[in-house]
Structure 1
Amino acid sequence: MAEITASLVKELREKSGVGMMDCKRALQENNGELDAAMDWLRTKGLAKAAKKADRAAAEGLVAGMVSQDAKSGVVVELNAETDFVSKNATFQEAAREIARVALGVDGDVDAISAAKTAKGETVGDMITNLIATVGENMRLRRSARLSVGQGAVALYLHNKEADDVGKLAVLVALEGAGDQAVLKEVGRKIALHVAGTPTPPLALTTDELDPALVAKEREIQTLTAMESGKPREIAEKMVEGRIRKWQEEVVLLKQPFVMNPDQTIEQLVAATAKETGQPLAVKGFVRFALGEGVEKKTDDFAAEVAQLSGQS
């Protein structure tokens, strides 16, 4: 068998755009012959998949699952290029399978991609094969996992396409020794709140707000007050009240509960603790909305025509 050198693997990778391990395998399967290895990759659909990797993938699905004992839960986002793919049963099952795998992985996207599915292939390979089959670029964009020692993790999926998959997923973890059935139901209600409140929460508590975000809001409010004619030192004092009001709007525990606006989430948790007779706390929450933060490519033909006209 011909020696598979690092330079040969690198050359095939540059030619095909496929990952190093797949290139090495292709060369091993074809006795180190570059052209034959390239043909092998094309036969497997891997080269085709790699060519799609630079195309924008901002559609797809968010998948979520909770363990049988409700002590842990995960949400993952699997992206594709078009919304049409999210209705594909094969794509939906892939998203579900990734969530199943993620339940048993204490790690990030890379760790999940390297973990094996029930069929024995890695999640990364499953996605690569799906790209070749469906014909669109795809990627496992992000994942999150919450767990509790005692208590319950609850999941809410909004705009569901099928079981365990939708366009928005929320996980809420409640830590406490109270009746788990009660905690699961309250956790589900809080998750529904996080999904449906007009101002999605940015943090669980005031202390957990990003300092840079607070500083930016403080500066905005200060400049707004100064534009009304107030000196900066007076404006800064006025701002403190506005910052407190803003924090109440963006901190989960301070927000009015959507199902009972006269009660904050913090008060709901306290009432549940009283009902169960055990201390209770929200340990954390995760909110994944499909495609948030991803720049979507749009074709502005009018702008292109105007640009061309200006160049003529």
Structure 2
Amino acid sequence: MTITAAMVKELRESTGAGMMDAKKALTEVNGDMEAAVDWLRTKGLAKAAKKADRVAAEGLVGVAVAGGKGVAVEVNSETDFVGKNADFQNLVRDITKVALGVGDVAALKGASVNGKTVEAALTDAIATIGENMTLRRMASVEGDSVAAYIHTAAADGLGRIGVLVALKGADNGIGKQIAMHIAATAPVSLSESDMDPTVVERELAVQTAKALEENAASAKPKPEAVIQNNIIPGRMKKFFEESTLLNQKFVINPDITVAQAAKDAGVEVVGFVRMAVGEGIEKEKEDFAAEVAKALQG
């Protein structure tokens, strides 16, 4: 029987198995869909489907550097316990190394790791370890030199927060210091010029409304021109100083900015990545009373 792409798609959607596994299952049972599901279940490859709707917000960030390129990769799991699993750690480390040779997550999923695609390797890990896992994202930087730092490391090159710093010039140790600074301060962007315009607009709207409201409630309100030309620009300047890496006060020496610290060291910061496990993922939470109520209803 001819195995069509539509059949493979249907089996993948119903079981969560990888494309090649789904195709092999259908081939083994001559296209019988129910038998193919059973075949996958016996191989442990359909186990992933039962877990696909569970939130994977833990896991590890891996970092790797080769020459003038650095990559950071986040692989999520359901519990932080899995982050301590040696097999999971080795898989994330291997995936991160593979990421040095690709440009985005889509390419990474299809890239080869240990004789199979990254996507297939994750599916196998789900069946073996028993938790939903996702390759969520990757990011890279390039420069004359790249420094990497892992905060709360679980193993070499793996942890909950990964930082990369790309420098123009030879790194003499300042790169790691700046990376540690980034881990602590979580800057929004490198500089004011490359900050997301929507972030700037939102902050400007907030500061404008706040300044006008405070002025209206003041016993001695200032002229509107002072608010628009002095107060609001002053607050925006402070915002940029606090949220852009180059303008932040260097944590190791708060008397100078990060940009000045880099300059004093003979380098220039040209890019950075700060990646933290689970940031931006909505975790489903249920209070104890609701949990008991659900159990009683069951």
Normalised TM-score (structure 2):
0.91
The aligned residue for residue 81 of structure 1 is: 78
Shift of 1:122: 0.9
Q: Deviations over 1:1-35 (max 9, x none)?
A: x1213443344344434344432221112222223
Does residue 5 of structure 1 match 2:4?
Answer: yes
The aligned residue for residue 217 of structure 1 is: 203
Question: Relative to structure 1, is the Cα distance of residues 188 and 14 closer, same or farther in structure 2, using a 3 angstrom cutoff?
Answer: closer
Looking at structure 2, the residues matched to 208 and 297 of structure 1 have their Cα atoms a distance apart, in angstroms, of 33
Aligned residue among 300, 303, 309 for 2:287:
300
The aligned residue for residue 289 of structure 1 is: 276
Looking at structure 2, the residues matched to 32 and 175 of structure 1 have their Cα atoms a distance apart, in angstroms, of 57
The aligned residue for residue 261 of structure 1 is: 254
Looking at structure 1, the residues matched to 295 and 34 of structure 2 have their Cα atoms a distance apart, in angstroms, of 41
Whichever residue aligns with residue 196 of structure 1, its letter is A
Whichever residue aligns with residue 122 of structure 2, its letter is I
Alignment: residue pair count:
290
Whichever residue aligns with residue 207 of structure 1, its letter is S
The aligned residue for residue 116 of structure 2 is: 121
Does residue 146 of structure 1 match 2:132?
Answer: no
Aligned residue among 89, 96, 100 for 1:99:
96
Q: Deviations over 1:265-287 (max 9, x none)?
A: 111121122xxxxxx32110000
Question: Relative to structure 1, is the Cα distance of residues 241 and 307 closer, same or farther in structure 2, using a 3 angstrom cutoff?
Answer: farther
Looking at structure 2, the residues matched to 89 and 304 of structure 1 have their Cα atoms a distance apart, in angstroms, of 33
Whichever residue aligns with residue 27 of structure 1, its letter is L
Structure 1 unaligned regions, length at least 5? 274-279
Question: Relative to structure 1, is the Cα distance of residues 236 and 191 closer, same or farther in structure 2, using a 3 angstrom cutoff?
Answer: same
Whichever residue aligns with residue 95 of structure 2, its letter is I
Shift of 1:37: 1.5
Looking at structure 1, the residues matched to 130 and 293 of structure 2 have their Cα atoms a distance apart, in angstroms, of 33
Shift of 1:162: 1.0
Question: Relative to structure 1, is the Cα distance of residues 156 and 17 closer, same or farther in structure 2, using a 3 angstrom cutoff?
Answer: closer
The aligned residue for residue 226 of structure 1 is: 212
Aligned residue among 132, 137, 158 for 1:165:
158
Select between 151-160 and 29-38 the one with higher mean Cα deviation.
Answer: 29-38
Whichever residue aligns with residue 287 of structure 2, its letter is D
Q: Deviations over 1:132-170 (max 9, x none)?
A: 00110000111011122xx21000100011111111010
Query: SS in structure 2 opposite 1:170?
Result: strand
Shift of 1:304: 5.9
Say whether the 8 Å CA contact 2:14–2:49 is kept in structure 1: no
Question: Relative to structure 1, is the Cα distance of residues 139 and 10 closer, same or farther in structure 2, using a 3 angstrom cutoff?
Answer: closer
The aligned residue for residue 194 of structure 1 is: 182
The aligned residue for residue 277 of structure 1 is: none
Looking at structure 1, the residues matched to 291 and 83 of structure 2 have their Cα atoms a distance apart, in angstroms, of 30
Looking at structure 2, the residues matched to 6 and 157 of structure 1 have their Cα atoms a distance apart, in angstroms, of 42
Say whether the 8 Å CA contact 2:164–2:179 is kept in structure 1: yes
Q: Deviations over 1:197-248 (max 9, x none)?
A: 3xx2111111011111111111111111111215765433220111011101
Normalised TM-score (structure 1):
0.87
Query: SS in structure 2 opposite 1:240?
Result: helix
Looking at structure 2, the residues matched to 223 and 93 of structure 1 have their Cα atoms a distance apart, in angstroms, of 51
Say whether the 8 Å CA contact 1:62–1:165 is kept in structure 2: yes
Question: Relative to structure 1, is the Cα distance of residues 14 and 104 closer, same or farther in structure 2, using a 3 angstrom cutoff?
Answer: closer
Q: Deviations over 1:155-191 (max 9, x none)?
A: 0100011111111010000022xxx3xx151111110
Whichever residue aligns with residue 283 of structure 1, its letter is V
Q: CA RMSD in A?
A: 2.2
Whichever residue aligns with residue 121 of structure 1, its letter is K
Looking at structure 2, the residues matched to 303 and 50 of structure 1 have their Cα atoms a distance apart, in angstroms, of 26
Aligned residue among 83, 96, 108 for 2:104:
108
Question: Relative to structure 1, is the Cα distance of residues 224 and 166 closer, same or farther in structure 2, using a 3 angstrom cutoff?
Answer: same
Aligned residue among 132, 155, 166 for 2:148:
155
Looking at structure 1, the residues matched to 22 and 191 of structure 2 have their Cα atoms a distance apart, in angstroms, of 48
Aligned residue among 231, 242, 250 for 2:235:
242
Does residue 25 of structure 1 match 2:24?
Answer: yes
